[in-house]
Structure 1
Amino acid sequence: MRPLLSSLFLAAVTWPIGLLAQSSPVPAPAPTAPAVQPTPTIPAAAAAPGKDVVHQLNSAFAKVFETVAPAVVIIEVTKKNDGSDTSLDDLFFQTPDDNNSNKSGRAPEPVQSEGSGFIVRQDGFIYTNLHVVEGAEKVAVKLQDGREFPGQVVGTDEKTDIAVIKVEAANLPVVQLADSDAVRVGQFAFAIGAPFKLDYTFTYGVISGKGRNKLMATGGYNIADYLQTDTSINPGNSGGPLCDIDGKVVGMNTLINGLNRGLGFAIPSNLVNDIGTQLISGNKIVRPWLGIRIETLGEDSSIRDLFKGVEKGVVVRTIEADAPAYKSELRPFDVITQIDGAPVTTDTQLQHEILKKKVGQNVELGVWRKGQTMKIAVTTGELPNEIDRTAAQPAPQTEPREEDLNRFGLQVQDLTKEVAIRLKLKVQHGVIVTDVADNSMAAAQDVRREDVITEVDGKPVTNVASFRQALTKGDPTRGILLYLDRKGSRTFAVLRVGGG
């Protein structure tokens, strides 16, 4: 085909010329005009300053890496393989043969993973994430200059996912920590780490947001002020520094929301250093708590109109068993509007204010309760490592006087002394839920088997008859308020038509 196409092309070119030659003589060519030189859109002299700015920015970025990288470490962790652990790196770097690697019946090989960290003291103390070193049998630390040291985990804090590693060395390069409270949304941000085992990868972006919360809750506690960045952060960056344009650390990279989404999160440097300093000193991390589960008023729109008369505040959803608030006059469904005279409008703000207190300190809560305002004193306690969850035991199914409340999807029975003893319940009166129908009004409000209903719309419940009577008087279109005792914790549910 190629020769044919060539000949067709040539024929198309030569054929008109032949026709012209037969019709008339070819006139002499006209004098060629001088070529017009294009005029630059921006004169070179005017473009030079802009180019200089780019060069300066280029140098500034490179300077950040050169300043920070010597104090960034790559952490290689060896963990025991229980056969169930698959890292993100494994998912991305797995080869077809890897799928058959464990079929020989041999004991699984140790799991190896990589994370990042940064040196904060010349004598070898390093900050990183707890999840990087958790369960480690062996920790190896590599520096940019090629030196390697065995590492020892000297302290961890599960609530914030912060850990401290120690290597035996002296005169190590260290990072400078910035004041993370002064960070501004829109400023440049830089990350250094080992994503996908590519050591000392340097990426940049901006601070996209501050005060991001409820990203990860651990044992009733959550960090309330993550820094958000669009800087590329991937598995392996965990524990590494997020820096500003001056090469100072503003945060510790710790979370990503999906790969390549531009949603990365870092623990603010002020919190990292506060926890890290205590861990280095060997101190136990102690936090105050009230023992309540809360939400910002209005967050649950289905019950917002039950709080007419209060505009802003924090709703008490649950009071944990034997917690400080359990010993006070505070009740589920209360709205906390103040703490020690200062207004509170969000659950995050209330948590911040409580964390500023000391364990054993008295606090005064301003509370709205069904149109009335009051002051309630609570003495803070120490936040436990784990909030006790009593193992569920089967609820009785064959007790007498069981009442099937089809309208709400509940089955209940009288709470007898024998049942209370068998289920180790502290509450002495009410009705116990023995079943909750799927897709029912009660199920939509998370009413559970073994919950004890103690009040309906503020009226005490002593048996099935009083419970039925209270429900009959209630208005499910507006919402019927149930007070529940759940294995010692106090909470509430609102049965409402269309409220699920």
Structure 2
Amino acid sequence: MPDRFLSSRRTTSRRWLLAGVSLAAATTIGLSLTSHFSATAQSSGPPMGTGQAAAVTAPSAAQRGLPDFADLVEQVGPAVVNIRTTTKTQVARSDNPADEEMQEFFRRFFGVPVPRPDGQQRRGQTPDAEEQETPRPSGVGSGFIVSSDGYLMTNAHVVDGAQEVIVRLNDKREFKARVVGADKRTDVAVLKIDATGLPAVRFGNVDRLRVGEWVIAIGSPFDLDNTVTAGIVSAKARDTGDLVPFIQTDVAINPGNSGGPLINMRGEVVGINSQIYSRSGGYMGISFAIPIDEAGRIAEQLRSTGRVVRGRIGVQIGEVTREVAESLGLPKASGALVRGVESGSPADKAGLEAGDIVTRFDGKPVDKWNDLPRLVGATKPGSKAALQVFRRGATKDLTLVVAELEPEGTAKASKPDAPSSAEAATSIGVLGLTVADLSDAQRRQLKIKGGVRVTAADGPAAKAGLREGDLILSVANSEVGSARQFEQLVGRIDRSKPVNLLVRRGEWAQYVLIRPER
């Protein structure tokens, strides 16, 4: 949400790019291969030492045992494939061959139809032309074979919108592939080709993967088949806001590498290369892969049912900052802040409230706020789950029955904001707030037990982002039932410290810290 106090993530200039590539872009890039793909050499210095070890002469490269990836490439390379996709577009077919060639030239290099002398720009408007559907290349990517009978895995964005998928094997054979299923939420897709006796990869154990460990990637960057790059694992469980905690590496990943395998030194696939961090649109030293254990679970569901079933509990959540944790009395900044509870949802039926902080789900700790949707999503719908929440300074245990997450694209209508209150307003100068009571009808409509409505905000409250129409549900971990009670609670606060207010705007709630005027 654009409002300052409701923002749960800082705006940055980072660009998370899917490592796919259009064929038009690949053609343009291919014109400058000589300058773009200059050879580079990687070196590795000896480890730092102390004491007597620091005085020892550095060993040679042979003595250090620098990694040799040749055997890994020979072992896994045959199971890596190139994926090309096409879409059908409406084009005008002319009886004039020269006109056809010119049209193709403009489409290929400029992406627009050739200008017509009579000023007509839409295809099919000339008397000698007729509309027809023509397959057009739309993109390239990578993938890998997971079973000898022709099942493959790749990224969902590689095959998204494709009307035809062509898989080229390491031995140059080509097959038309069928999309068994694709899950956009995790960017995993499963394909099937009619072939047997194929080489297949082995899955590794992501839990055994260590930061600093050598890994390699094999794929088709810029449509260059069987390209191998190497690097190390830079971080694990990296959060980029997606449903999946990524493996971060410094392996060179470029457009066309999408869907290719990330391989450890035992020749096992530990991830699917998916995204890069970039300011320029190209590789800048940071790449991300979907952990193969997560991808494997998704692939199994896609193979068996063609779709992925996930759990849901019906809450909107946000981050618990260090400042909020301190003001609430939490030992550390962890858990997921409940900003809103959907009416009639499993969370609503279990008694979960806006302002609660979920610290455990089904016995598993919720360290970061986005751990919760991952844990809930992995739970089978219909299962009972125990929740541990932190509410107004105390821990509370709840039990709910997990529901099924709606398919992508299903949106619920939002409820109206709170109606204006006609009650007399109470001014609280120390916080810069003027508040008013809510009527019983307003509370029933908003489905809240108490709270007061902000009729004016200036000074400290305005600096914190509050505005007219916001609802204040609690002050310093104490529920607010009326404007008079709100005034009494504010009168007891320590003016030398920030005070936390649970504020609801529209559907969602958030803790706001206000520094009182002394």
Provide TM-score, normalisation by structure 2.
Answer: 0.67
Aligned-residue offset at 1:472: 6.1
Aligned-residue offset at 1:285: 2.1
Is the 8 Å Cα contact of residues 181 and 270 (structure 1) preserved in structure 2? Answer: no
Is the 8 Å Cα contact of residues 321 and 487 (structure 1) preserved in structure 2? Answer: no
Aligned-residue offset at 1:398: 11
Q: Deviations over 1:236-268 (max 9, x none)?
A: 111111112233211100111113332111111
Aligned-residue offset at 1:349: 5.7
Q: 1:345 to 1:72 in 2, by over 3 A?
A: closer
Aligned-residue offset at 1:193: 1.2
Aligned to 2:290: 267
Q: Deviations over 1:280-301 (max 9, x none)?
A: 11254223344445567xx513
Q: What code does the residue aligned with 2:337 have?
A: V
Is the 8 Å Cα contact of residues 248 and 286 (structure 2) preserved in structure 1? Answer: yes
Separation in structure 2 between the aligned mates of residue 144 and residue 377 of structure 1, nearest angstrom? 52
Q: 1:204 to 1:150 in 2, by over 3 A?
A: same
Aligned to 1:334: 356
Aligned to 2:71: 63
Q: Identity over aligned residues, as a percent? A: 34
Aligned to 1:25: none
Q: What code does the residue aligned with 2:209 have?
A: V
Q: Deviations over 1:152-175 (max 9, x none)?
A: 211112221111112222222222
Q: 1:239 to 1:392 in 2, by over 3 A?
A: same
| Residue 288, structure 1, aligned to residue 302, structure 2 | no
Output aligned runs, 1:313-332, within 5 Å: 313-322=334-343, 323-332=345-354
**Which structure would you say has the larger RCO, counting Cα contacts within 8 Å and 6 or more residues apart?**
2
SS at 2:86 equivalent: strand
| Residue 115, structure 1, aligned to residue 138, structure 2 | no
Q: 1:102 to 1:389 in 2, by over 3 A?
A: farther
Separation in structure 2 between the aligned mates of residue 488 and residue 284 of structure 1, nearest angstrom? 30
Aligned-residue offset at 1:494: 2.0
SS at 2:163 equivalent: strand
Q: Deviations over 1:305-355 (max 9, x none)?
A: 313363575252424313322222333443444556666544466566555
Provide TM-score, normalisation by structure 1.
Answer: 0.69
Aligned to 1:167: 193
Gaps of 5+ in 1: 1-48, 83-94
SS at 2:228 equivalent: strand
Aligned to 2:272: 252
Equivalent in 281, 285, 305 of residue 326 of structure 2: 305
SS at 1:281 equivalent: helix
Separation in structure 1 between the aligned mates of residue 467 and residue 113 of structure 2, nearest angstrom? 42
Is the 8 Å Cα contact of residues 315 and 333 (structure 1) preserved in structure 2? Answer: no
Q: What code does the residue aligned with 1:320 have?
A: V
Aligned to 1:36: none
SS at 1:136 equivalent: coil
Equivalent in 171, 190, 207 of residue 181 of structure 1: 207
Aligned to 1:243: 263
Q: 1:384 to 1:403 in 2, by over 3 A?
A: farther
Is the 8 Å Cα contact of residues 220 and 256 (structure 2) preserved in structure 1? Answer: yes
Aligned to 1:493: 511
Q: Rg bigger for which structure?
A: 1
Aligned to 1:6: none
Aligned to 2:40: none
Output aligned runs, 1:8-157, within 5 Å: 60-79=68-87, 98=109, 101=112, 104=115, 105-106=121-122, 112-157=138-183
Separation in structure 1 between the aligned mates of residue 216 and residue 437 of structure 2, nearest angstrom? 62
Separation in structure 2 between the aligned mates of residue 331 and residue 143 of structure 1, nearest angstrom? 54
Aligned to 1:478: 497
Q: 1:308 to 1:408 in 2, by over 3 A?
A: closer
Aligned to 1:46: none
Q: 1:123 to 1:247 in 2, by over 3 A?
A: same
| Residue 209, structure 1, aligned to residue 204, structure 2 | no
Gaps of 5+ in 2: 1-58, 91-105, 116-120, 124-132
Is the 8 Å Cα contact of residues 188 and 244 (structure 1) preserved in structure 2? Answer: yes
Separation in structure 1 between the aligned mates of residue 496 and residue 353 of structure 2, nearest angstrom? 24
